[in-house]
Structure 1
């Protein structure tokens, strides 16, 4: 029998794993010794935190980052043919969503390996849940362009789509550029468009607010270097 690929969620910050995910995640981490990870150091720290007694020397870590060799990564699931299961770990939240792990999941399907997603915190869905915006129709757009002119064009296009389709438009930004993004949103969107900002989700200093752009112009939240989700909707 082939091993399986388990999609193992991690925390969105330095909180206790079992505060934000079910005990079943810990049980699977206790059983699995082969992991595909972006960063070995943070992966080992998470595993140690959720299962303190697990033997660290027994762990096999396979790197999946922007420097990973594509031919090598295609061998990462070979152990599944021997009945050994593999865990795919994200750096934060759930694997394969806004995460390079999607390539491994695709490979598993190609090889006929069962994919098992485990329950854990998704910043995208948690932000949408708390935004008060349309949860029946929404789109996740990843990162917007870095160039200021192109970014403003993208913002206007997302605003147009949100009105045309009655669709919540979700996107993210590198934390150190959050404040520039916030300024561009205030300068580009129409006053009636609603904007939700959800930062440090599930952490003690969690911040989730939805206002119109007109109201946001009277607000100045501290977003610097805080992982954040942005959602806009024009009705």
Structure 2
């Protein structure tokens, strides 16, 4: 059977830790092995990528590493060139800033190009804050949606919260989303102000870290609870039950 891929070089999707903990506490040895042998990486930030590589493989030589930077400042016309090495038989690693590449992450654009060009994509096992939060939420893991960031404008955000609550009820679907960490407390205030008292909210923050906090309560109970989420990476999930 002939290979479905046009080139021998592969794109490895390399997860990283969700915070400042020991990599091998949350990453399998297979990720460490791939990072150890790769020399070409695509990342959002070279400095943090080098730090992640050094922490995972302390003895790896850094001067010879090649980085392509993919973030909101990257010219879209340059992205396809990041995979040229794969066409010459070399493997490339795509590193996330935190968690899994391609999920709530600009790396999805590189993966799309890899598929279009016939380059094999190899996802590696690692922590996903979205899946970890869903696992621990007690909400509908058979039917859920991740909605990214909600609107910044307060009125628009409250409108979207009500819309997500309606969708949750209509479809029996858990709705997850994130916020910039320094606005987390404001988000929780809006949620408990806007949502029905019986709607459940899961707050999952600092996942995999010693300060991990995952709690699901009704809106009515959250109104009686004090929690400080300021600058703590958080996933919010809501579900309105029948």
Scaled by the length of structure 2, what TM-score is found?
A: 0.96
Partner of 1:87: 93
Gaps of 5+ in 1: none
| 1:108-119 paired onto structure 2 within 5 Å | 108-119=114-125
CA distance in 1 between partners of 2:208 and 2:37 (Å): 27
Report the counterpart of residue 96 of structure 1 in structure 2: 102
**Counterpart for residue 233 of structure 2:** 227
* Residue matched to 2:76: 70
Corresponding pairs, count: 235
SS of the residue aligned with 2:81?
Answer: coil
Aligned residue among 17, 32, 52 for 1:11: 17
> Equivalents in 2 of 1:71, 1:34: separation in Å?
19
Dislocated runs of 4+, deviation >3 Å: none
**Residue aligning to 2:201:** 195
- Residue in structure 1 matched with residue 221 of structure 2 by the alignment: 215
Aligned-residue RMSD, C-alpha: 0.6
**Following the alignment from structure 1 to structure 2, what is the Cα–Cα distance between the partners of residues 59 and 11?**
20
- Specify the alignment match of 1:149 in structure 2: 155
Of 44, 47, 51, 1:45 maps to 51
Distance in 1 (alpha carbons) for counterparts of 2:97 and 2:149? 17
- Offset, 1:70: 1.3
- Once the two structures are superposed, residues 118-160 of structure 1 have per-residue CA deviations (whole angstroms, 9 ceiling, x without a partner) of 0000000000000000000000000000000000010000000
What TM-score comes out, normalization by structure 1 length?
0.99
Shift of 1:74: 1.4
